[in-house]
Structure 1
Amino acid sequence: MLGLVTAVVATVVGHIGLGPGYDPLELTISDYALSNRGVTIEIAMVALAIAAPALLAGLRAAGAAVRGLPTVLLSIWSAGLLVAAIIPTDPPGMSTMSTAALIHRYTSVAAFVALPIAAAVIAGRFAGLGGRMGATVRWLCVSCVVGIGALWYVAFPGERIMMGLVERGLVAVEITILTVITVAVLRATRRHIAVDRAIEPLTLVGAVSGPGHRGSAEA
């Protein structure tokens, strides 16, 4: 949760007070990372990347089956964000893309694609989501598929028109997915703690009473 909040706050700070020439509807978040406040965008990406393994650990602790595909896909999300934070894209207006910009683009795409697939698998394996939250995650994953398709269109046939808006919408949906799953993990953990606290006094009574009082301890 701390990683998600840090990412959102840092991204907002990175968009404030840059002056003319910076249009969030046209320029991507990666373009903003080249500004004089670009370090805040990099902090946001690193925060999200670190949050992914923390979420995996939380899911395991809450009893979710995350071995295999969910772990691999969330690792791709995390690694993709880290690489994109380290290797910047080219400045806007370049006629040809450098090798660094290509690496940045396709690691970002890999992260965007990996997260909704991971979330869809987790929604089917994590009972702690419940019916309503599980359905919410699935609908958000469908929205991501639409967003990825729209991002491809504006990046190539659409000649980058409104690309900043489409990308930010996709990022917002993916952060929402992570938030919903994180809240579900917190709820599941609290339920486990409540159950443990309810069982502990009964266990203590049984230990103090001894074998001769087993019946009352069980009651």
Structure 2
Amino acid sequence: MVRRLYPVIACGGILLAVVSVVVAQVGGDGSLDPVTMTISEYAAEDGGDVIEPAMAILGVSSLALLAGMRAVRAPVQGWPARLMAIWSLALIAAAVVPATAAGAGATWQTDVHRCLSAAAFVSVPAAATQLVGRFAEDERWRPVARLVEWLALASGLGLAAITYVALPGHGVVIGLVERLLLTTEVAVLGVLAVNLLWLTWGPIPRGQLVERLGERRPFAEISQHIVN
């Protein structure tokens, strides 16, 4: 039963985190500019009472997603699983060690927070890129393979854009670029979470069926089992 709760936690947590961040910025201080300020800078200036817990929730939800995918024997073994774990733990740690406001000057907390954020941003595009080929060979995940491929491409381009903006671009519109990158990365997680929810709770409990029949049995045999 615990395994069947993983996709529910993942979907619910991702949705809650996204709504919380959007509401916090839409209803936040009007003097703060989300186009030029990163989410961390925005949270530091606005108090971080909503955004930081939302990032922690997103990290926990991502861990639940990873656990759920492993429970149904999704093809995430190896580096994809490690990268998803890095994303999750980096988000949780970044929420625990938030960046300080601009007027506070350079602090070790801000440096650690930036390193954790960088690790998180790199992890999802790298994991998604490796998962595309694996999903294409897995009947259960093939329906989302193409969508994950496009999102992986978009997040890769976003990662290149934010790298340029942060270094030679001198931070121009870095807030906008970061939010677009984060949107594509959360979209990757959302697609995985929704498919996991379908596999676990859909009309045909395919996740349970595969577990019972064994992960190495061909999908045609599983389909025959359903018919019989």
Bucket of the pairwise TM-score, normalised by the shorter protein: 0.7 to 0.9
Aligned pairs, number: 197
Is residue 86 of structure 1 aligned with residue 86 of structure 2? Answer: no
Q: Is the 8 A contact 1:14 1:38 kept in 2?
A: no
Q: Which residue of 2 aligns with 1:121?
A: 130
Gap regions ≥5 residues in structure 1: 198-218
SS in 2 for 1:15: helix
Is residue 108 of structure 1 aligned with residue 117 of structure 2? Answer: yes
**Segment of structure 1 superposing worse, 169-178 or 27-36:** 27-36
**Segment of structure 1 superposing worse, 55-64 or 135-144:** 55-64
Q: Which residue of 2 aligns with 1:61?
A: 71
Amino acid in structure 1 at the alignment position of 2:113: H
Q: 1:28 aligns with which of 27, 38, 46?
A: 38
Is residue 145 of structure 1 aligned with residue 156 of structure 2? Answer: yes
After superposition, the C-alpha distances for 1:52-103 in whole angstroms (9 at most, x for unaligned) are: 2211122123331322212211111011111211112232367x63322111
Q: 1:178 aligns with which of 189, 192, 198?
A: 189
Q: Which residue of 1 aligns with 2:215?
A: none
Distance 1:19 1:80 in 2: 27
Distance of aligned partners of 1:145 and 1:39 in 2 relative to their CA distance in 1, 3 Å threshold: same
Q: Which residue of 2 aligns with 1:50?
A: 60
Amino acid in structure 1 at the alignment position of 2:69: L
After superposition, the C-alpha distances for 1:4-38 in whole angstroms (9 at most, x for unaligned) are: 11111110222133334201111111012113451
TM-score normalized by the length of structure 2:
0.78
Gap regions ≥5 residues in structure 2: 1-10, 210-227
Distance 1:52 1:18 in 2: 26
The percent identity for this pair of structures is 38
Q: Which residue of 2 aligns with 1:130?
A: 142
Give the deviation of 1:191 after TM superposition.
5.7
Q: Is the 8 A contact 1:14 1:37 kept in 2?
A: no
Q: Which residue of 1 aligns with 2:80?
A: 70
User: CA RMSD for the aligned pairs?
Assistant: 2.4
**Segment of structure 1 superposing worse, 170-179 or 4-13:** 4-13
Work out which of the two has the higher radius of gyration on C-alpha atoms and give 1 or 2. 1
Q: Is the 8 A contact 1:76 1:111 kept in 2?
A: yes
Q: Which residue of 2 aligns with 1:210?
A: none
Q: Is the 8 A contact 2:45 2:102 kept in 1?
A: no
SS in 2 for 1:33: helix
TM-score normalized by the length of structure 1:
0.80
